[in-house]
A and B are shown apart, each in its own frame.
Chain A
Amino acid sequence: MQVLYGRHHVRVFRFGLRLVRDEQVAEDLISEVFLDVWRQAGKFEGRSAVSTWLLAITRFKALSALRRRKDVELEDEAANAIEDTSDDPEVAVQKKDTSEALRKCLTSLSSEHREIVDLVYYHEKSVEEVAEIVGIPENTVKTRLFYARKKLADLLKAAGVERGWP
């Protein structure tokens, strides 16, 4: 268990943190995830990578934690109202710092879009693995990421950043 924890706990923590946006909650989350793994070791059939299995459990736990906190609506409001609530991206653009604006907009995506962007880009999960983790069909995975990227472009455009797409 120590080896498994040592190998995966940072990525599990970061995935959880991006979903719940609270370090304390994310830390509690990883304890719960690995405890579940300890309890349910027999259910792991080896058909997918261990990391995929861990991320699927983390996602389930994170969504449960979010439901408990009842702040999902607040989160979506924050994502939709980025141009009204924050001028940080504009400031960043003035400094010619597109990277910083991009990172801020990545943070402002809805949790549904954030998780798919993270799973594909950071956790390097294939279409099939994302489908398994999120529990949606593979075609939905592809279209969801496409529309997440479009939303990102909209947020950047609202912040004054044009990147030539779409």
Chain B
Amino acid sequence: MMALSKKMLEEPSEIEMLLPWHAAGTLSARDARRVDEALARDPELARQYAVIREEYAETISLNETLGAPSARAMQKLFAAIDAEPAVNKPSFNLSSRASAFFASLSPRTLAWSASLGALALVLQAGVIGAVLLHNQPATYQTASLSTNEPITRDLGAAPAAPRALVRFSPDAKVSDITALLEHYQASIIDGARGGLFRLQFGTRSMTKDEVANLMNRLQSEKIVSLAVPTP
């Protein structure tokens, strides 16, 4: 009893404290080797390790009996997410943060695929488009004409901002594209037909020279394989 009391008052050794992580297999290779060596030469430590393995197994067993949340939790979450734009005004920042986040979740070796890129960009365009709706000047559309393109006219005085058809290189990541959009203050207004996206740059008009300069800068971007002005 005395020996036991004395033992319980003793400070644990470093190796002794690492035993639970050894049982769970989460030690570094170096620490795991140190613990294995100590276990091989210290029977008392080995006894303690056997106790720990029992605790480890029972903790897993206990947690596994806890079940899973009901569908209510998921419904509540996605209802809250759906309500987010109404509560918090989305911004360019939000879309870029979301894109960066999802990019960070992807394996580094994830290669560009046209379908993945198109899907991600269309989703992103949806977010950005929702933002732009707040800033677009009022327009009206004639009802008497039937052409491929609707005839619209700005009621405000602002002239049109420059637009371009852009094709991104096959190895471009979503995060790279988002960064480029932010850098050029651009938004995707249409895409991706034949791998081409229609981008709009800022909200003010540019001179011919400015547009040409913009196209040259875009064309020199590593992730852009084609950039041509478009109405």
Q: Name A residues whose Cβ lies closer than 8 Å to a Cβ of B.
A: 1, 4-5, 9-10, 13-14, 17-18, 23, 26-28, 30-31, 34-35, 38-39, 41-42, 44-46, 50, 99, 102-103, 106-107, 117-118, 120-122, 124-127, 142-143, 145-146, 149-150, 152-153, 163-166
Q: B88 to chain A: which residues have CB within 8 Å?
A: 39
* Residues of B within 8 A of A (CB-CB), count: 52
Q: B80 to chain A: which residues have CB within 8 Å?
A: 31, 35
Q: A35 to chain B: which residues have CB within 8 Å?
A: 77, 80-81
Whole-angstrom CA separation of A18 from B4 in the bound complex: 32
Query: Is B134 part of the contact surface with A, judged by Cβ < 8 Å?
Result: no
Query: Is B47 part of the contact surface with A, judged by Cβ < 8 Å?
Result: yes
Residues from 61 to 120 in B contacting A, C-beta threshold 8 Å: 61-63, 66, 68-70, 72-74, 76-78, 80-81, 84, 88, 93, 96-98, 100-102, 104-105
7 contacts between A and B (CB under 8 A): A23-B69, A27-B69, A42-B93, A106-B55, A145-B20, A146-B12, A166-B8
A9, B69: Cβ atoms closer than 8 Å? yes
Query: Is B2 part of the contact surface with A, judged by Cβ < 8 Å?
Result: no
Looking at B21-29, B34-42, B139-147, B196-204, the stretch in contact with chain A turns out to be B21-29
B101, A44: Cβ atoms closer than 8 Å? yes
Q: In the complex, which of the residues B27, B47, B58, B97 contacts A164, with contact meaning CB atoms closer than 8 Å?
A: B47
What distance in Å separates the Cβ of A138 from its nearest Cβ neighbour in chain B? 10
Whole-angstrom CA separation of A15 from B172 in the bound complex: 38
Q: B133 to chain A: which residues have CB within 8 Å?
A: none
Q: In the complex, which of the residues B12, B17, B66 contacts A18, with contact meaning CB atoms closer than 8 Å?
A: B66
Nearest CB in chain A to that of B77: its residue: A31
Q: A143 to chain B: which residues have CB within 8 Å?
A: 12, 17
Classify the interface of chain A: helix, strand, loop or mixed.
helix
B63, A125: Cβ atoms closer than 8 Å? no
Whole-angstrom CA separation of A153 from B52 in the bound complex: 11
Q: In the complex, which of the residues B23, B60, B81 contacts A1, with contact meaning CB atoms closer than 8 Å?
A: B81
B55, A150: Cβ atoms closer than 8 Å? no
Q: A99 to chain B: which residues have CB within 8 Å?
A: 58, 61
Q: B185 to chain A: which residues have CB within 8 Å?
A: none
Q: In the complex, which of the residues B4, B50, B59 contacts A166, with contact meaning CB atoms closer than 8 Å?
A: B4
B101, A41: Cβ atoms closer than 8 Å? yes
Closest 8 CB pairs of A and B: A42-B97, A41-B101, A121-B59, A142-B17, A46-B104, A27-B73, A31-B77, A122-B63
Q: A41 to chain B: which residues have CB within 8 Å?
A: 97-98, 100-102
B24, A103: Cβ atoms closer than 8 Å? no
Q: A117 to chain B: which residues have CB within 8 Å?
A: 55, 59
Whole-angstrom CA separation of A33 from B24 in the bound complex: 26
A121, B105: Cβ atoms closer than 8 Å? no
B58, A126: Cβ atoms closer than 8 Å? no
Q: Given contacts A27-B70, A150-B8, are A127 and B21 in contact (CB under 8 A)? A: yes
Nearest CB in chain A to that of B56: its residue: A121
Q: A103 to chain B: which residues have CB within 8 Å?
A: 58, 61-62
Nearest CB in chain A to that of B25: its residue: A124
Whole-angstrom CA separation of A23 from B60 in the bound complex: 19
B66, A120: Cβ atoms closer than 8 Å? no
Nearest CB in chain A to that of B63: its residue: A122
Q: Given contacts A42-B97, A120-B21, A126-B26, are A106 and B58 in contact (CB under 8 A)? A: yes
Q: A39 to chain B: which residues have CB within 8 Å?
A: 84, 88
